[in-house]
Amino acid sequence: MEPNKYLEDITEIKNIMNRSSRFISLSGLSGVLAGIYALIGAALAYTRLKMMSSANYEGLSGRSSSLWGTDVIRDLSLIAGAVVVLAAVTGFLMTLRKSKRSGEKIWDATSKRLVVNFFIPLISGGIFCLVLIQYGLPGLVAPATLIFYGLACINASKYTMGDVRYMGLAFLLIGLISTQFIGYGLYFWALGFGIFHILYGSMMYFKYDRNRNL
Amino acid sequence: MSLIDNINKAFDHRIRLGIMSVLMVNDHADFKMLKELLGATDGNLASHAKALEKAAYIQVEKQFIGRKPNTRYAATKLGKAEFKKHIDALEKLIGK
């Protein structure tokens, strides 16, 4: 037997270990797009909040007393919901495309594990945020979303590209920092969900996706 | 040479190598998952799994999921240790 055969064996072993335990068809470009949606969403939310505050100063209407009037909450929720749905759909479609190209099945043991482990911290975080609102602590919602999203990424990173772990840590860090700057949640959101997604998404795109296309 | 001794004949086949690789990083894998990952036919996979089972490198658990029979495999302690030795030997041989 020649050394070539051994080398082949080792490569095959590594390849199968990766393929059987990690879902590697996550699209980096979808991260970039998610970041762009988030930035647009943040800009919309910002103008909406501006509108609200100027309206409050001008009119002494009965509603001005409730700073977080119901229609502001509704509009902000709509914006946030639209961003999440758009990002999720884009992410799904681009991952589907990439998995088709690389011949990896989109719904197999690895992707199931990835999704389950991503959503455990995320859903707990979502419920926790509802509780924060319930107790009248909306200022902590932004830090909590960043922290739980970071934890979700860290938890999921074991089942996909390891780089996701570092993005998770970055989210965790700015989430904790933002707890000291209540009221600036929107800026931290834009930094995290916008800038970080774009940054890490493009990093992953250049590292994994581009070479495949060439 | 002692290095060659560590090359385990039981792993000297692409499918067996594949089965062991999957079971090193996953607690267990079922027949269908192995088949898809390794691109093997039913008969081929079954016979290689049998060989590894005979060597006590993997264990087979048969169970029912609902009404469907499901066969899943897990690496034994012995199997993991032997495979580790095998990989180390391969790596050393390449290094030389």
A119 is a domain residue: yes
Please state, in angstroms and as integers, the Cα–Cα distance from residue B37 to each residue in A140, A188, B34, following that order.
45, 42, 5
Burial of A163 (0-12, 13-18, 19+ CB in 10 A): middle
What is the structure's pLDDT at A69?
60
A105 is a domain residue: yes
What is the structure's pLDDT at A188?
95
CB distance A17–B24 less than 8 Å?
yes
Question: What is the C-alpha separation between B53 and B59, in angstroms, rounded?
Answer: 6
Closest CA to A22 of A12, A31, A14: A14
* Residues of chain B contacting residue A9, judged by C-beta atoms under 8 Å apart: 17, 90
The parent domain of residue A64 ranges over 27-213
ipTM over 0.90: no
* Residues of chain A contacting residue B21, judged by C-beta atoms under 8 Å apart: 12-13, 16-17, 20
Q: Count of domains in chain A? A: 1
Identify the DSSP state of B56: T
pTM of the model: 0.77
Tell me the CATH number at B10: 1.10.10.10
A46 is a domain residue: yes
CB distance B90–A108 less than 8 Å?
no
Q: Which of A10, A17, A20 minimises the CB distance to B91? A: A10
The parent domain of residue B27 ranges over 2-95
pLDDT digits (tens, 9 = 90+) for A20-76: 888 888 888 999 999 999 999 999 999 988 887 765 544 444 444 455 566 877 888
Q: Which of B25, B36, B93 minimises the CB distance to A3? A: B93
Q: Count of domains in chain B? A: 1
H helices of A22-162, where?
28-58, 70-102, 109-134, 141-156
Task: Name the band, by pLDDT with cuts 50, 70 and 90, for residue B13.
Answer: confident
